[in-house]
Structure 1
């Protein structure tokens, strides 16, 4: 199961900057756009343009993500983060095509059935996932490919998610969602894979000792937790253990970590498993045990990737997962700087 998770909180960051990004956002007529969102995806670094369309971002270091600029009714733009301070002039184009205008094929399953699968594979089935509610579900459109048994979902507008279990409201811009079944079915037990991706804004609605404990539980065993530990070469029976086949192995024999303190980045080199050379593009496969009870697998189709200070990693389209870790979906998402 492959899951793409992109998320951020939007507000002015108090972090002392190493990289300063100044810029202006205008429309195609060179008119400034006031109130456009400009943020670094996967972080708490974000701001909004002023009445002149100007903005300033302070970025602590080079990160494995992009600068995103968005405004209602316009196409979202993506800008690469450079190594030093730089300027951006961003022109937003009107988004004249809406998904609701697209004529979809006749679905053989009911909207209620498709919506139920979407909730389970998008929000998740954990306590947090079950408590999360999409308040504008009417914005979601579905299509079912009867030849390939694939359910897809999309929306013209960000999905508004109320997650009282973790004390957040989320705006999630859905870029992709699909669930593939092994036969013509809409039953979750017949699903063989599911993936989704997008960008999101978190707004804290509650913070109590109970909420804090729930957030910590959501973090433990998550993708963010795993990759932070991998960068720090932190493996233990109380956290993550690494297995090759059924044998516990020393991570240093399979991963070489090179830290670049100037960028707050860790380069990870994956040792190729010779016994799997027959698989094209395949580098390595490991089992991961978290807290001696949660079992997952990780598959590498890249021999090199990097992890930044937040635990965000590159080459996400070449690193696959299965098992318990994939149960953590949007309902369990935390901001990428959680705990830092």
Structure 2
């Protein structure tokens, strides 16, 4: 995997604006095997600050908004996650949870490699991040995080049976991060962050606002959004890159976005259609065949886009894996696997995440 993919984060995004009681998803959560109600299960809109808990009879009612693509997550200790994609207002929906029989116990850490303290420090770098906001972010339940280092393949993996409790004082959020997948692949027997070949972080987040509308918190959130991939994609869709201090590059040269992208409005926001991608022509190779020189034409190799923030001088890498990118009106990706990030955007971890219902 190329070096510019050494760090990336998947942004899973949906919108949660103004709602009414009539625009709600109501139902009951039951155990698949026993048909008994599951109490205290978390029911929340993915990556938002909207969520509820089931009552003793397993009932829940969560507000939605029509014509918006949202995913509702149902999570309970000891059960597999249940996802309701593209959720719509509905009454009396029955949700069955399956017992998670594959919950992993913590493996014994081979002391020939690294201690738990060393692995936990490495985990936090790739989970929380290393920005100024990360320095003010704490994990409240570190003991619930299981860590394992595969010395043969140089991989650090992590999992948690409970949501990871994250306290971000700079942005004024408490976050329940339901970790689905975490992996860091190193180039050698190492846990030094700069030795990583790639990293993968994926999960479901629920935000609780504890900012109390303090001016400092409001300022920090605004700054994070302005420098975020969401603001870049929104600026791209609204043809306002220069207005928001972004420059787009292909093959190391600044480009006009209309050469590479076309924009279409959708009920959820925008579709950014990729007209073409940057390519690099590899040089031809001369080979000897039957004592004769034969020229083999070089192949074309796809290249990533680069983004520069002219206000901060931060440079980011975009690897677009789809013919069209779906975003909401705030610029949040609606399909997480459409873009991989490197550079500055790739360094943004949980400490620099905002809920998708954030508004300035």
- How far the C-alpha of 1:120 sits from its partner, in A, is 1.1
3-state DSSP of counterpart to 1:225:
helix
Stretch of structure 1 that moved more, 122-131 or 236-245: 236-245
3-state DSSP of counterpart to 2:159:
strand
Counterparts of 1:53 and 1:184, CA distance in 2: 47
Closer, same or farther: CA 141–50 of 1 in aligned 2, 3 Å: closer
- Is the contact made by 1:13 and 1:58 (CA closer than 8 Å) also made in structure 2? no
TM score, norm. by length of structure 2: 0.82
One of 137, 147, 152 as aligned partner of 2:152: 147
Tell me if 1:245 matches 2:251.
yes
Tell me if 1:289 matches 2:296.
no
Counterparts of 1:171 and 1:8, CA distance in 2: 17
- How far the C-alpha of 1:132 sits from its partner, in A, is 0.9
Counterparts of 1:303 and 1:6, CA distance in 2: 18
- Is the contact made by 1:224 and 1:336 (CA closer than 8 Å) also made in structure 2? no
- Is the contact made by 1:38 and 1:70 (CA closer than 8 Å) also made in structure 2? yes
Larger Rg: 2
Q: Which residue of 2 aligns with 1:255?
A: 261
What does the per-residue CA deviation read over 1:245-276, in whole Å, with 9 as the maximum and x for residues that have no partner? 2322111221111112xx23312210123735
- Is the contact made by 1:42 and 1:65 (CA closer than 8 Å) also made in structure 2? no
What does the per-residue CA deviation read over 1:31-53, in whole Å, with 9 as the maximum and x for residues that have no partner? 33333222221334433334443
Stretch of structure 1 that moved more, 203-212 or 48-57: 48-57
- Is the contact made by 1:34 and 1:52 (CA closer than 8 Å) also made in structure 2? yes
Q: Which residue of 2 aligns with 1:92?
A: 97
Q: Which residue of 1 aligns with 2:275?
A: 271
- Is the contact made by 1:62 and 1:81 (CA closer than 8 Å) also made in structure 2? no
Length, aligned pairs only? 332
- Is the contact made by 1:145 and 1:151 (CA closer than 8 Å) also made in structure 2? yes
Stretch of structure 1 that moved more, 115-124 or 85-94: 85-94
- Is the contact made by 1:7 and 1:200 (CA closer than 8 Å) also made in structure 2? no
What does the per-residue CA deviation read over 1:302-321, in whole Å, with 9 as the maximum and x for residues that have no partner? 11231123433244324221
Tell me if 1:190 matches 2:207.
no
3-state DSSP of counterpart to 2:220:
helix
Q: Which residue of 2 aligns with 1:205?
A: 210
Counterparts of 1:86 and 1:159, CA distance in 2: 30
Counterparts of 1:125 and 1:105, CA distance in 2: 25
Counterparts of 2:232 and 2:28, CA distance in 1: 37
Counterparts of 1:216 and 1:155, CA distance in 2: 31
Stretch of structure 1 that moved more, 40-49 or 167-176: 40-49
**Superposition RMSD in Å:** 2.8
What does the per-residue CA deviation read over 1:46-68, in whole Å, with 9 as the maximum and x for residues that have no partner? 33334443333332244454211
- How far the C-alpha of 1:99 sits from its partner, in A, is 1.8
What does the per-residue CA deviation read over 1:184-239, in whole Å, with 9 as the maximum and x for residues that have no partner? 11222322322211112222223311111111122221122222223323211542
- Is the contact made by 2:46 and 2:206 (CA closer than 8 Å) also made in structure 1? no
3-state DSSP of counterpart to 1:95:
coil
Closer, same or farther: CA 105–279 of 1 in aligned 2, 3 Å: farther
Counterparts of 2:324 and 2:13, CA distance in 1: 23
3-state DSSP of counterpart to 1:337:
coil
What does the per-residue CA deviation read over 1:285-318, in whole Å, with 9 as the maximum and x for residues that have no partner? 2111113411111111211231123433244324
Counterparts of 1:98 and 1:308, CA distance in 2: 35
Q: Which residue of 1 aligns with 2:58?
A: 53
Counterparts of 1:265 and 1:76, CA distance in 2: 28
Stretch of structure 1 that moved more, 56-65 or 284-293: 56-65
Counterparts of 1:297 and 1:16, CA distance in 2: 40
Q: Which residue of 2 aligns with 1:224?
A: 230
Counterparts of 1:114 and 1:104, CA distance in 2: 13
